[in-house]
Each structure stands twice: as structure tokens, then as C-alpha cells.
Chains A and B, each alone.
Chain A
Amino acid sequence: MDFIAAIPWREVGEASLDTLLMLGVSMAFTLLLGLPLGVLLFLTGKRCLIERVAFYNALSFVVNVLRSVPFIILLIVMMPLTEILVGTSLGVPGSIPPLVVGAVPFFARLVETALREIDRGIIEATQAMGATTWQIVTRALIPEALPGIVAAVTVTAIALVSYTAMSGIIGGGGLGDLAVRYGYHRNQSDVMAITVVLLLVLVQALQTFGDKLVLHFTRR
């Protein structure tokens, strides 16, 4: 049982909690910023409620740029900004800003796509009732697209899990950090294996829960 004894279980536990914390906080901010951004992309798009082609193209370009930067580069480039925002670029707090900046454009695009799936007739019917744009968004578009949005949250959360693992490289803490320190620097591949298993379990749990939720909200 040397194998079990050699594993720093306390650190594994702490790292797991850190990962969950990073995931939870960054997902919350991603929702908060990404949902409005996705709605804005949808609304200003071609032949939509508040069509603004130039604005849409500019916004779309920024989103594309952010999405095309590899996350590892984003982590490094973001460091000065992160320090201004949360006072440090290390640990759990230091990894939140790059995680959010990495996930928001991705999530916003998924939201935009989910909204585009809605039958235009439903928007027209709601307009014909005399709804304001705000009412159309909050009472018709988002409830109708909810299954798609929940699926988008699931995909984004899973992407964030792999991002949190990457942020370990710059001392972000969490399971990724543990894997790098033990598995890479000390050549303890058993610890690395355990982190991989834990990450796998986390991803599986997110996917299963997300799918259940999508099914719950689907009325079609």
C-alpha cells in the first residue's frame, strides 16, 4: 500500500476544491457577461430586431480575436491586467480573470447560435403583441432558447475545466497545478493519474447533469 500512502491526499483535496472554486466563480462571471453579449450579438445581427451591421461586425471581430488566442497565451498576456483587477496574478483569484476572458466569447457565440435556432415567427408574434425589445428578449427569446443555453453552459463549463488545469502552469492552483508539480517536476506519475481521473469524473458529472437539465427544459 506504499502507492496509496505516497499520495499527498491533503493536497489532492485542496487542489480539487480550488478547481471547483475556480470553475464556479469563473462560470458565474461568464454567465453574467456572456449571456448579455450573446443576446447583443443576436439582436444586432443581420435581419434581426435591432440590426446594426457595423456594430455587429466589430463586436463579432473582437469575439473572434479573443477566441482565436490560445488560452495559454491569454494567461500570460492577461497577467498585468489581472494584477490590476484582483491584485495578484497567482492562485485562484489570479486565474479567474483569464478564465472569464477566455470563456465569455466562446459562451456568447454559443448563446447567439442558440437564439438563432428560435423560429422567427415566434419573434414576429411577440412583436405583434406590442412587446418591447426587452420583453421579447426576457419573456420569449431566453425562455424559448433555454435548452440551448443550458447546453451552452455545459459545454462552456467543461471547456473551463480544461482551462483551469492549464492555469496551473502559471501557478494558478487546482488540479492542473498539482499535476504539473508532482507529475512533471517530481516525476510522480501516480499523482498525475489521480488528477486526470478526478478531472474526468468532474467532466462526466457536468455533462450528465447538463444533459438532464436540457431535457428538463425541453418542451418541443
Chain B
Amino acid sequence: MSAILEFQKVSKSYRVAKRRVPALCDIDLGVEAGEVFGIVGRSGAGKSTLLRLINRLERPDDGRILVDGHDVSQLDDTALRALRQKIGMIFQHFNLLSSRTVAQNIAFPLRISGELGDDEIRERVAALIDRVGLKEHARKYPAQLSGGQKQRVGIARALSTRPRLLLCDEATSALDPRTTQSMLHLLNEINEELKLTIVLITHEMNVIRSLCDRVAVLDEGRVVETGAVADVFLHPRHSVSRRFVHESEDVDEDLLNTAFDRVDGRLFRLTARGDTTYEPLLSGVARECGVDFCIVSGHVARIKNVPYSQIVLGMKGERVETALERFSSKGVTVEALR
């Protein structure tokens, strides 16, 4: 694996009413070729700026942004355009040309680059329309399409130049939950089929959970946590990350603490990943060690394609420590909360 994209000590500020307002501070990030990298943050956290630095829609004040080892800030106009032609981008509001049909929109980047002839363009566009499932809509104008269909056009358009990197700017934020799911599914397929690196920004942790391999949590212009999605999700270290995870799981932290207070005995958080998730461990260990437990909170779901369960147990009994050792030996992560 090699880094296709690197941020080195990148800072950026804006002038607002003659004052400098920092947007990004000291960003260090690396994105590996072929992975789906998510950047999550609230609005105003600087995600949009971060994404736009990659294809130099914005310029950094400081630091370097390397795409395939080339410093983006050093490129002249011609080289910059060549780079942009190899970086696809999709947008929250789709940004399709309303005066062009679906097919013409998808062909647009190819017409701009001028590298292909008419026949080749027609062939490639037809294949892409087919790929995103819009065969019957090729001659329609964007205004005649639903939001999900428009984003499919956006994705096909972004893929038309066969980029190595796809930037997604809140690509599902304007879509309803069901359409969001189908869009995430499509992006996941594309990532696997084409080995296409995807960098996406979002404020929805669920997008990160179902699509990304790694995630960076952005807060007030700083990266507060990065890591594999499963690690950040199941064991968030920073309070901002924890809040994102709780929100996505509909957990109210205060209510949870009240619940903990009402439990007699000790409290443990158990996390199982992969196949362990489906093993009948709880009752078995309880029987063997003679402990009693209650489940205070719990969550069973998937991160990308890996199932996991995470539960908080209140435990009582003589041999609690033995029970915990037994859980650990089965591959369950145990954290003592109290």
C-alpha cells in the first residue's frame, strides 16, 4: 500500500471582515491507494475546505498536499488541469448542467479533456449509464430526475475520465435515508470493482460506518482522531468522536449514566467483532463461572461488512474476574467501566 494522498502540516485561514479566521490547523493525513477514507465533522469544522485543497479549488496558507507524490501547490495551470481531470468529484447538490441531458452531462468531462473521439465517448458514456442504472433516462434533462438519480449522474460523470481518486462532498446529505443507502452501496461497489480511492466528507457517522475503511474526526479545524473505522467506532478516544458515535446510535449520554447508577455491582463494556459476534458466549460463561449479569445497554450492527456487538453488562458473583478472562480468551474486548 502506498499513499496516494498526503497532507503535511497544512493550514488554511480565511479573511472575514478584515480578520483572519483559521479554518484548518496543522493537518497531517495520509490516504492509502484503494481505501475509502472518511472525514467527519460538524458544519464549520473545515471538512469542505479540506476536501477542496486536494484539487486546489482552495489553496493552503501553509504545508503541502501531495497527490501521487506531487505537491499540488507547485503545479502550473496545465499540470493542474491534467491533475483535476484525473480526480473525480461529486457534490451534495449534484451540480449538473441543467442545459444538458444525462448522457451529455456524463460526457462533459471527456469533452473538456478532449482526449477521446466521439465514438469512444459515446461507448464509454453508454457503459457508465448502464453501470449506474439510468439506461431509460439517458436523454432526460436533470430537472426530470429525482435526487438519487441526479447523484447517479454525478457519480457517472465523475467516473468518466477513469480517475484514480474520487472526492465526495457530502454526497448523500441531500438524499432520503433509502436513497442514501443505495448510493453508499453503489460507491462501495465502485470502490471494489475499480480499486478507486475515495475520500469523502460527511457529518453523518452512519455514512462512515457503512462505507469507510478509515476515518479522521475533524473538530474546529483540527484532526482530533484518526484510525480504522472499527477502532474509532467501538473505542473512540476523543470526546468529539464519542459524541458522533453516540449520536449515530441514538444514545443519550446522560440517560446512559443514570442507567449505570441504578445498576448494583460492577460494570463492564464487552465488544465482539466478526464471527465472535454470533457466538453464544454470555450464557455459557455465566453458567461456567456462576456469575449473574444484566444488560444495561447494547448495540449490534455492522461496520462496512464486519458485524460487531457492543454491550455494557452489570455483573455480580464470586468469579467475575474469571468470567472476564474467559471473555478475553474468546476474543472479546473487555473494558471495566466501574
Interface residues of A (CB under 8 A from B): 119, 121-122, 124-132, 135, 139-140, 143-144, 146, 217, 219-220
Cα A115 to Cα B62 in complex, Å, equals 34
Could you tell me the distance in whole angstroms from the C-beta of B121 to the nearest C-beta in chain A?
14
Q: Taking A119-B95, A124-B95, A140-B97 as given, write out 17 further A-B residue pairs in contact, using a Cβ cutoff of 8 Å, ordered by the A residue number.
A: A122-B97, A125-B96, A126-B108, A128-B57, A129-B84, A129-B85, A130-B82, A130-B109, A130-B113, A131-B81, A139-B108, A143-B97, A143-B100, A144-B98, A217-B99, A219-B99, A219-B141
B122 interface hit (Cβ, 8 Å): no
Q: List 26 A-B contacts (CB under 8 A).
A: A119-B95, A121-B91, A122-B95, A122-B97, A125-B95, A125-B96, A127-B57, A127-B84, A128-B89, A129-B85, A129-B112, A129-B113, A130-B80, A130-B112, A130-B113, A131-B112, A132-B81, A135-B112, A139-B108, A139-B112, A140-B97, A143-B97, A143-B100, A144-B98, A217-B99, A220-B98
Measured CA separation A126–B85 after assembly (Å): 10
Are B98 and A129 within 8 A (Cβ)?
no
Closest chain A CB from B199 CB (angstroms): 13
Nearest to B144 among chain A residues (CB) is A219
Determine the chain B residues whose CB is within 8 A of the CB of A144 once the complex forms: 97-99
Known A-B contacts A129-B84, A129-B85, A130-B82; A121 and B95 likewise in contact (beta carbons under 8 Å): yes
Q: Contacts A129-B109, A219-B141 hold; do A124 and B99 have CB atoms under 8 A apart?
A: no
Complex contacts, A220 vs chain B, CB 8 Å: 98, 143
Q: Which among A130, A139, A140, A146 is the interface contact of B85 at CB below 8 angstroms? A: A130
Contacting residues, chain B, for A124 (C-beta < 8 A): 57, 91, 95
A135 to B84, CA, bound (A): 14
Q: A144-B99, A217-B99, A220-B98 are in contact. Are A128 and B111 (CB under 8 A)?
A: no
Shortest beta-carbon distance from B42 to chain A in Å: 21
Write out the residue numbers on chain A whose beta carbons fall within 8 Å of the beta carbon of B125: none
Instruction: Report the minimum CB–CB distance from B89 to chain A (whole Å).
Output: 4
User: Which chain B residue shows the least CB distance to A136?
Assistant: B112
Q: Top 9 closest A-B pairs, CB basis?
A: A130-B84, A125-B95, A130-B85, A130-B81, A121-B95, A219-B141, A129-B109, A128-B89, A143-B99
- Which B residues are CB-close (under 8 A) to A146? 99
Given contacts A139-B111, A219-B143, contact A125 B84 (CB under 8 A): no
* Measured CA separation A144–B143 after assembly (Å): 13
Query: Which residues of A have CB within 8 Å of B80?
Result: 130
CA distance A131 to B84 in the complex (A): 9
* Beta-carbon nearest neighbor of B84 in chain A: A130
